[in-house]
Structure 1
Amino acid sequence: MSVPAQDQQYENFIIRYKQNIQGVPEYQPDETFQIINDLFGVLYVPMREIPELQLNSYSYSSIPRCYTYMDTGALSASGVTRLHGHPYLKLKGSGTLVAIIDSGIDYLHPAFHRGMTSKILSIWDQELDGGMTEKIPFGREFTRVEIEQALSAENPWEVVPSMDKSGHGTGVAATAAGYSIEKEGFSGAAPEAELVIVKLKQAKRYLRDFYLLPQDADIYQEDDIMLAIAYVLRVAAENQKPLSICIGLGSSMGAHQGEGPLNEYINSIAAFSQNAVSVSAGNEGTARHHYMKTLTAVNMRDTIELRVGEKESTRGFMLEFWGDSPNFYSMTIQSPAGEQLSVSTSLKNSTQELSFVFVETKVLVNYVPIERRTGNTLIFIRFLHPAVGIWKFLVGERIPGESRFHMWLPVRGMISDDTYFLEPSPEYTVTSPGDAADAMTVTAYQYRDNSLYVQASRGYNTENVVKPDFAAPGVDILTASIGAGAEFAPATGTSLAAAQTAGIAALLFEWSLIRENEPYFTGNSVKNYLSRGAVRDLNLIYPNPEWGYGRLDLYHTFELLT
């Protein structure tokens, strides 16, 4: 039976449960409250007990953000193959764990077992019915013993009924740590690492409705990803093994400062020994989903044009405006028919409804003059059944001086390609949690000619922290596939670049921790070593908003160590 975490009649809120003015009471997890770490928890509240979901300065970071996939001969380019076969190093990830937090895994795929022996230590399937245990708050967990029983069973799905319906998680897991299969010319980056898998449950309907996201797309919510991280950390601690986590998901929600609960959690993980987090940079570089403008004392106003496509007219879409502190901003929205309605700057804690007369469109607006986590101005806009055509936003600053604002549409997969800004900026398109300062944020390139993946997101984050950190092969690389046809097929995207980096991090953990060359190796250590050894072109300046510190080359990293 389902529990509140899975129940569509409950809303989820990410809370900082220890920031309590009354002191720190003893919190005990139960079905309505789950502890993630020593700061964050998830509260599940029945919809009938709370008013309609409202966005304001305090609730923005509590309402879970939504994430989706960052995808649409590579190991030699990263220097990994030379280390697999090096006469002295022979690094293959032995003794390490690689965690994949994604759509699940096809545990029957030959990349993950040899005979009846599986390289998967455990699977937590958040979608299956099951109650809270000592290790998981909901869903079902399957151990290696059960997975290997399934491998030898006549009907494996009766023993372990966890499936990867999209194949995304399977491809990411194989790229990071799949077994070497010579006849296919395939190997994961860390073929002897063990895997721990979390199959994320789909985002709840109320969040899709609130953010106006597609009901049929694979979309995951922030609190479930955070609980998944807590689970894989627990598994690694119980098995006393270093852990490399891969998150091949992304979102354009937020101020792109590296803020937000998931980002903060990732930052805290990377500072501890034996944990590293690899995150995809995103595929938003050419999506035309971002607009940026700097206003000055001479030019205090700007007009932004947004084309709205046919597919958005049936349901709607959302976008976010973020204006740099300490300025305040005004906004007027103009329909394709020329009708203008102004956003009130005084209704701070309520949702404004702008109803246009000449087009059958309603626009819901939340104006937050000082968002609590960033201090910036947030204007959260939801279009209901928008008219197709060119919409305009007339934006002005209220205090003369230089200030900058950004506008972001949802990422690919959450909105159609027919809705976009007419004068977009490819910069500041690295998706969350790739904008987290201490994550290893990875962009993708074509290793055959060393060209950047054309759709790759560009840096930096809005705090001018270098993002992405480096580039890894992610264009037409061979990885595991599911369904009819070949067991291996080429795939493209920054998710796969992050997966290869997660496997490379496991190789560094094997060298540093398992072989005791560097006993206090942290995720930040991994990032610094890889940044130092990255290959750079002489005609570019680094760090670079497209390449970070360059192309990953683990062999070059070890050359520098000598």
Structure 2
Amino acid sequence: MSLTEWGYDGRNPRELGEGDFKTLTDEEFRNYYFSEDYEIYFIEYSGDIFTAISKVDYADVYITDKFFAILFVKNGMLNTLLERVPEIISLQPNAIYTLSELKVDGDTSNGVNAYENQIPLTGEDIIVGIIGTGMDYLNPRFINENGESRIVSIWDQTIEKGPSPSFYPYGTVYNKEDIDNAIRISKNTTGNSPYDIVAHKDEVGHGTAIAGIIGGRLIGEVDRINSIVPKCQFAVVKLTEAKKNILTTAGIVKDVNNVYQSSDITAAIRYLSELQESLNKPMVVYLSIGSNFGGRNGDTITERYIDNLTNRRDFFIVTETGNQGTGSTHTSGSVVKDGTTSDILINVGKLQTLLNITIYFRSQDVISITITSPSGNTLSNIPLTTNIEQLRYFSLEENNISIDYITRTTISGYLSLNILIKNTTEGVWNIRLTGVDIINGVYNAWMPQSELLEGDTRFLRPDPSITLLTPCGASNIVATSNYNQINNTIVESSGKGFPIRTTLEPTVTNAGVNLLTAGLNNSLIIGTGGAMAGAVLTGAVALISQWGVSNESLMGFYAPQVRNIIINSTVKEEGKLYPNIEWGFGKFSFNLLHGVLERIGGAIETRKLIESNGENQYSYLYINIPSEIFQRIKS
């Protein structure tokens, strides 16, 4: 279900009339949003939710439209709230996202360019959105020769100094004028700091490295870096890190940095979408982040936002499949028939005191759950409900081990069982599924990304398939896996397909090893990892977008059209079956992309010629098929 289907009409809650509905003030929103005493959930509701919530003193809502809201509830009070407020129809917890993998080396002697000039386009009038750690706006590679910034906007969610976006009242927005003024001050010798005007920084370097691959400008004639769209513009969102209580709810006990929550990511996508509409220029957004939360069926709020917002022309979102490809955080199996069992065996490391497991199976299946600890204590026949999300608490052992779980039926017909085991003990845990009334019986289970886990916490029967990260389940997203172009092999950790529902992903694979790019403090570095592969694909989509808007007969593209062009620009090796879970539809090639665009352009010119000669009573269809199939047809 999209936001439009929910009834969202595009208006800002702060601009709604008196007869619409009530919501929180900006100050109230910020107080709840940043408080460690309140958990955050997305909810779908019916009726007068504001009045219903106002009757309790441990929760509040920020209403974003007539059927959708952000719920703030005091830690530990969700179950009580759900029993008191039947207006809450469905609920989704915040998912935890981590950065796409990026390994940096300062020795650039073995670095190679991600792109060599093959297509005579440079990204002019195309905006590339970067969501992640921010971007070094003072780096000369992102400044035009006239001294003006190529960044049109920065929303820094971590700074509370200035104006915030119209729809999400937190963080600070810096416009191009602010950024240009800061750049001018940085070049003066007055002693003033540019950060007094634009306080935004990329302390990690992740976003800067991505931007360098996509659109870093050449500095001098002997510069070694060669980006894909060096004249594009940028729009940047720096994400604020996930709250501690959100991490705890998600079962994360490890002390981690650069970890984010889906509410901020969804807000970032919404912000860039509104910016693209206001500037009326094509935009390609790179989500260089991913999560193991979600059933890879396109049902998460983030994926539904993506599909809703990319239904219009010239707004595209790109991601990469992540680094969980070894399968240690995913398992699958089947409960064959009524009365049979299937065991999910989990090795829990010594320091893993919380453990979050999410299991997805068809909602038509009735399955009983039994959990056994390493010491043999067992909790049997955990009751499940499919009517409304519910949170239930159980005592598993005398030493205060407990289980919280939420069951819910997703819009695509799956039952999601989210289990949080508290005070876990080291050793092998067993979650046994027993068939009660089996129609399908197939299940998939995920735990958080491996970098969020302690020690050797993992599934003992891992499944490397369906290890691509959320939001790869979105229908309109374009995703890439990561391969080593030096030895022509898929990087083992690269996330693998296919999503349970929606389109086949990865769309393609891209090179991600030893690529020259921009580092912090105006340095040149080489980057390796999925983040680099995704940046290459983002640059390619920007090229396609520019080609589309520059062709008067096309006037831009929709997301499925861009995806098809990317698929048709792939190299397929003999002996491999495509699409497959590692390579997608093949290795993306800029050379082949050039040829595809030329063929489309040729077909357009042919159509124009036919129409100009008055032969427009016929319809013509351009079909691009592999040459080997054409030869068979011809013979």
TM-score range (shorter-chain normalised) is: 0.7 to 0.9
Shift of 1:91: 0.8
Q: Distance in 2 between matches of 1:44 and 1:376?
A: 23
Shift of 1:243: 0.5
Q: Which has the larger radius of gyration?
A: 2
Q: Percent identity?
A: 23
Aligned counterpart, 1:279: 319
Distance 1:290 1:391, change over 3 A: same
Aligned counterpart, 2:179: 147
Aligned counterpart, 1:530: 566
Distance 1:538 1:269, change over 3 A: farther
SS in 2 for 1:326: coil
Deviates more, 1:470-479 or 1:43-52: 43-52
8 Å contact from structure 2 (residues 334, 342) kept in 1? no
SS in 2 for 1:310: coil
1:352 partner letter: Y
1:350 partner letter: L
Aligned counterpart, 1:27: none
8 Å contact from structure 2 (residues 362, 440) kept in 1? no
Q: Distance in 2 between matches of 1:172 and 1:76?
A: 13
Alignment pair present for 1:104 and 2:134: yes
Match of 1:43 among 52, 70, 86: 70
Match of 2:589 among 527, 549, 553: 553
Q: Distance in 2 between matches of 1:254 and 1:480?
A: 33
Aligned counterpart, 1:258: 298
Q: Distance in 2 between matches of 1:122 and 1:162?
A: 11
Match of 2:169 among 116, 137, 140: 137
**Deviations 1:116-141 (Å, cap 9, x if unpaired)?**
32211110111111454547632111
- After TM superposition, the structure 1 = structure 2 runs for residues 25-424 of structure 1, keeping only pairs within 5 Å, are 33=62, 35=64, 42-43=69-70, 45=72, 47=74, 51=78, 61-72=91-102, 80-84=115-119, 90-114=120-144, 116-129=147-160, 130=162, 132=164, 134=166, 137-153=169-185, 154-181=192-219, 183-213=222-252, 214=254, 216-297=256-337, 300-313=340-353, 316-346=354-384, 349-357=390-398, 360=399, 362-366=401-405, 368=407, 371-400=409-438, 402-416=440-454, 418-424=456-462
Shift of 1:40: 7.6
Length-normalised TM-score, structure 1: 0.87
8 Å contact from structure 1 (residues 319, 382) kept in 2? yes
Q: Distance in 2 between matches of 1:540 and 1:326?
A: 36
SS in 2 for 1:436: coil
Deviates more, 1:250-259 or 1:348-357: 348-357
CA RMSD of aligned residues (A): 3.1
Shift of 1:527: 0.9
Q: Distance in 2 between matches of 1:39 and 1:97?
A: 32
8 Å contact from structure 1 (residues 530, 557) kept in 2? yes
Deviates more, 1:317-326 or 1:56-65: 56-65
Q: Which segments of 5 or more consecutive residues in structure 1 lack a partner in the other structure?
A: 24-30, 85-89
Q: Which has the higher contact order (CA 8 A, sep 6+)?
A: 1
8 Å contact from structure 1 (residues 82, 555) kept in 2? no
8 Å contact from structure 1 (residues 533, 556) kept in 2? yes
Distance 1:550 1:361, change over 3 A: farther
Shift of 1:464: 6.7
SS in 1 for 2:581: coil
Shift of 1:552: 1.2
Q: Distance in 1 between matches of 2:229 and 2:400?
A: 52
1:120 partner letter: I
Q: Distance in 2 between matches of 1:448 and 1:535?
A: 16
Aligned counterpart, 2:468: 430
Distance 1:59 1:468, change over 3 A: farther
Q: Distance in 2 between matches of 1:356 and 1:423?
A: 26
**Deviations 1:523-542 (Å, cap 9, x if unpaired)?**
22111101111111121111
Length-normalised TM-score, structure 2: 0.78
Match of 2:536 among 487, 490, 500: 500
Q: Distance in 2 between matches of 1:475 and 1:60?
A: 43
8 Å contact from structure 1 (residues 3, 131) kept in 2? no
SS in 2 for 1:373: coil
Q: Distance in 1 between matches of 2:493 and 2:577?
A: 21
Aligned residues: 538
SS in 1 for 2:101: coil
Aligned counterpart, 1:446: 484
8 Å contact from structure 2 (residues 286, 534) kept in 1? yes
SS in 1 for 2:592: helix
